[in-house]
Structure 1
Amino acid sequence: MATRRSSGGCNLLECNSPGANGEGIVAIHSETRGPTAFFRDAGIVAFYAFDASGNRTTTDDAHWSWTNYSLTDTRGRKAIGAESALPPFIKESLLASSDRYYIEYENGWLFGEMPDMQHEHYGDGRAPGYFRFSFSDDRFVSGRKHPLQSVDDIRQALDQDLFKPASPARLFERIMRRFLERLKLQLSELSERLDSIEDHIVGDAWQGESERLAPVRRQIVASHRYLSITANLLRHLEQTHRKEFPEELGDIVEDLSQRAGALHQEGEQLQARARLLQEELMAKLAHRSNQLLYVLSVMTAVLLPSTVISGFFGMNTAGLPFADERHGFWIVAIFALTISAIVLLIVRRIGGPGR
């Protein structure tokens, strides 16, 4: 079987045995490169082994490891089911047929399904993603049905040695923090777009802003939904299992809960702001419609007397007044205009100042 060299200097098959090139590790497959046949047969998307300091190492020398499976690959699902080291409730969580957001802690394992964004290069970056994970002191096992943006960002950071997680809990923390950072960036961009729309609405160039505001509101709602789910799950986890956590994990969950809560409030403020802009825009549209209706009403009222008079004198019958008068037309026209002028004055007085 042909082998391929990893970034650590050993080939991907040799990295599962000790002493390969002295460096060991392995980042097995990226989200953007095809897996080797060895790991493809196991349905593995990525695998890393770490020492106690978070440096990558061989599996035999590893203090803990991260295995990420493809849950749409039957081989990956079979590999999870065959793992004797995984408790039954962890297998059930990873292999669940339906997607739902939740997080639980049981017998030293933190597991669940947290929100993430689908990878922007492989689908709609705004579409919801589901990150299934479980970890204990020495194992981190995860899976996904679609490439996930935050998970791939962390994988790239590991490949470039920009991040060295000393424990599975630290890896979980970094993935969640990356997800929250992306949401914060989205909120900042949406806030800037709202600033631009607000400037136009407050000024005189508000026409057409409704088409700009609608997609911004949709994105704010989607981001707020992500934040609401994340904040609620982490807050529930902290309140329910805080006393059961090891000190490191307890601090991590508390910090993530606070970060998610703060972002959730920021999302609520942004949503309220977008709603107020929508209401102000609708008020301006209603005011403009009322002005147009007022003009039409005035025109109708002013022209009504002339219409009645012209209709009266337009009847094809004998004995009409002024029919034989030399200046009959002008007498009727002046009379109709006078009545219309009187009606206009009355309508303007009824309409109030400024009309």
Structure 2
Amino acid sequence: MMPLDPDPASPLGDFAVVHDFDAQGQLAGKSGDAVLWSWRNYTLVDARARRNLQSDESLPATIRDALLSPGDQFQISYDEGWMFGELPDLQHEHYGDPRELGYFRFAFNGTQFLSGRKHPLQAVDDTKRAIQTGKLKPARPLELFNAIFRRFLDLLRIEITSLSATLDSIEDRIVGENWQGERERLVPVRRQIVVFHRYLSAATALFRDIDHADRRSFPEDIDDLIEDLSRRAVTLHGEGEQLQRRARLLQDELLAKMTDRSNRLLYILSVMTAVLLPTTVISGLFGMNTGGLPFAESSRGFAIVSFVALAVSLFVFLAVRKIGGSGR
């Protein structure tokens, strides 16, 4: 899915995309109805966009500062009839790492929705495409805010579902004793789970930072929306935590199996070393090039020494097996 090209008819130029909506949430240019509200989406890495926002005296100073702030910090605020802040969003799959977070700045009131981003963002682009194809018809800016953040949560849910299916496959092989090579699959999956859990934490923290005093100052429709989105984010965060626990348990079980196999190999090596040690000592003694060695002149000396070495080795083997069996 490629991002949408800037609107060539935009009066602001190629550093911003402008969409006008009628009362039914349709694009006003297609329906021919009167414009009820508009969405202006800026490319904040473009100096012209920043100058345009800075010189827009119709915007409150707090809104201009929020959109042009040099730092990045996920937060939501409400002041003088404007809801504004910074939302998390995944970077666009064709123009960045889709598993990395981006920052979506926004501000809206009853008639305007202003937004800006430094990188192409997936949820914003998907929402914009749904509007242009007629699948989404936001009748007011609040519905656009709802659609963008819900799409971000849906993208995270899709990724979590995919990671859960991968964990199911790894778990089946570990339980079925076909776990060789699964560590190479589990390590990157767990790393991705940790990353997405961090994203979900950022999403839930957005609403956790809004204290009760702020919530009381919200209009009823905004307060209801914030509560609904917060509930969805918390639910998805719980699913991410459960997935993270599963990945950790599977890694622990896999490490236990690897440790058990290493212990069995070490046990075999220990038995072989103990069995061969008497033979090595005896062969070393009788291999010394000195006088007075027993059986040196006997025609059966080699057979006698070999029999003694084998007998001692057999005795050591039985003793080690008995000790090993009682200790396991």
Q: Could you say which TM-score interval applies, normalised by the shorter chain? A: over 0.9
Which one of the candidate residues 94, 114, 126 is aligned to 1:121?
94
Contact 2:7–2:18 (Cα < 8 Å) also in 1: no
Give the whole-Å Cα distance in 2 for the aligned partners of 1:239 and 1:329: 94
Query: In structure 1, the residue corresponding to 2:120 is in which secondary structure?
Result: coil
Residue correspondence of structure 1 range 138-287 to structure 2 within 5 A: 138-237=111-210, 239-287=212-260
- Shift in alpha-carbon separation, 1:346–1:309, aligned structure 2, 3 A: same
The AA in structure 2 aligned to 1:161 is: G
Q: Which digits, 9 at most, give the CA deviation of each residue in 1:322-341, with x for residues without a partner?
A: 11111101101110111111
Q: Does 1:57 align with 2:42?
A: no
Aligned length: 325
Query: In structure 1, the residue corresponding to 2:184 is in which secondary structure?
Result: helix
Deviation at 1:137, TM superposition (A): 1.6
Query: In structure 2, the residue corresponding to 1:62 is in which secondary structure?
Result: coil
Contact 2:106–2:113 (Cα < 8 Å) also in 1: yes
Contact 1:68–1:142 (Cα < 8 Å) also in 2: yes
Deviation at 1:189, TM superposition (A): 0.8
The AA in structure 2 aligned to 1:43 is: F
Which one of the candidate residues 75, 89, 93 is aligned to 2:62?
89
Query: What's the counterpart of residue 44 of structure 2?
Result: 71
Structure scoring higher RCO (CA < 8 A, sep ≥ 6) equals 2
Q: Which digits, 9 at most, give the CA deviation of each residue in 1:167-216, with x for residues without a partner?
A: 11111011000111111111111111100000000012100000001111
Deviation at 1:98, TM superposition (A): 2.2
Query: What's the counterpart of residue 19 of structure 2?
Result: 48
Query: In structure 2, the residue corresponding to 1:343 is in which secondary structure?
Result: helix
- Shift in alpha-carbon separation, 1:34–1:68, aligned structure 2, 3 A: closer
Q: Which digits, 9 at most, give the CA deviation of each residue in 1:282-333, with x for residues without a partner?
A: 0000000000000001111111111111111111111111111111011011
Dislocated runs of 4+, deviation >3 Å: 37-42, 58-61
Q: Which digits, 9 at most, give the CA deviation of each residue in 1:79-103, with x for residues without a partner?
A: 1111111111111111122222222
- Shift in alpha-carbon separation, 1:34–1:172, aligned structure 2, 3 A: closer
- Shift in alpha-carbon separation, 1:57–1:85, aligned structure 2, 3 A: same
Query: In structure 2, the residue corresponding to 1:242 is in which secondary structure?
Result: helix
Give the whole-Å Cα distance in 1 for the aligned partners of 2:11 and 2:284: 91
The AA in structure 1 aligned to 2:13 is: D
Query: What's the counterpart of residue 24 of structure 1?
Result: none
Contact 1:51–1:57 (Cα < 8 Å) also in 2: yes
Query: In structure 2, the residue corresponding to 1:352 is in which secondary structure?
Result: helix
Give the whole-Å Cα distance in 2 for the aligned partners of 1:68 and 1:142: 5
Listed as ranges, the gaps of 5+ residues in structure 1 are 1-29
The AA in structure 1 aligned to 2:106 is: F
Q: TM-score, normalised by structure 1?
A: 0.87
- Shift in alpha-carbon separation, 1:323–1:240, aligned structure 2, 3 A: farther
Query: What's the counterpart of residue 33 of structure 1?
Result: 5
Contact 1:54–1:164 (Cα < 8 Å) also in 2: yes
Give the whole-Å Cα distance in 2 for the aligned partners of 1:352 and 1:255: 61
Which one of the candidate residues 272, 287, 292 is aligned to 2:265?
292
The AA in structure 2 aligned to 1:119 is: H
Q: Percent identity?
A: 54
The AA in structure 2 aligned to 1:41 is: G
Listed as ranges, the gaps of 5+ residues in structure 2 are none
The AA in structure 2 aligned to 1:230 is: A
Contact 1:104–1:111 (Cα < 8 Å) also in 2: yes
Give the whole-Å Cα distance in 2 for the aligned partners of 1:330 and 1:40: 102
- Shift in alpha-carbon separation, 1:250–1:156, aligned structure 2, 3 A: same
Deviation at 1:49, TM superposition (A): 1.3
Give the whole-Å Cα distance in 2 for the aligned partners of 1:54 and 1:266: 33
The AA in structure 2 aligned to 1:49 is: D
- Shift in alpha-carbon separation, 1:47–1:331, aligned structure 2, 3 A: same
Contact 1:118–1:127 (Cα < 8 Å) also in 2: yes
Deviation at 1:41, TM superposition (A): 3.5
Which one of the candidate residues 115, 130, 147 is aligned to 2:103?
130
Contact 1:169–1:249 (Cα < 8 Å) also in 2: yes
Query: In structure 1, the residue corresponding to 2:99 is in which secondary structure?
Result: coil
Q: Which digits, 9 at most, give the CA deviation of each residue in 1:220-276, with x for residues without a partner?
A: 111111111101212332645221111111111010000000000000000000000
Q: Which digits, 9 at most, give the CA deviation of each residue in 1:59-80, with x for residues without a partner?
A: 9932211100001111111111
Give the whole-Å Cα distance in 2 for the aligned partners of 1:40 and 1:328: 105
Query: What's the counterpart of residue 348 of structure 1?
Result: 321
The AA in structure 1 aligned to 2:301 is: G
